[in-house]
Structure 1
Amino acid sequence: MHRSDYAEKQLRIMQQIDEDHTLTQLASAWLNLAVGGSKIQESYLIFQDLSEKYPMTGLILNGKAVCCIHMGNSDEAETLLLEALNKPAEAFTSRSYACKRASSAENSFERAVQSVA
Structure 2
Amino acid sequence: DQITCEEDAKLYMTGPPNGCKSTSYSATNYWISVQKCLPVSKPYDCIDCMCEASGCQKYLGKCTNDQGTWRCGPMWISEAVWNECGKLKGDWKSCARDSVTCSKNCVKNYLNKYRTRCTGKP
Richer in helix (by share): 1
Tell whether the structures are fold-level matches, with TM greater than 0.5.
Answer: no
Q: TM-score range by the shorter chain?
A: under 0.3
Richer in strand (by share): 2
TM-score (norm 1): 0.25
TM-score (norm 2): 0.25
- RCO (CA 8 Å, sep 6+): is it higher in 1 or 2? 2
Q: Which of the pair has more CA radius of gyration?
A: 1
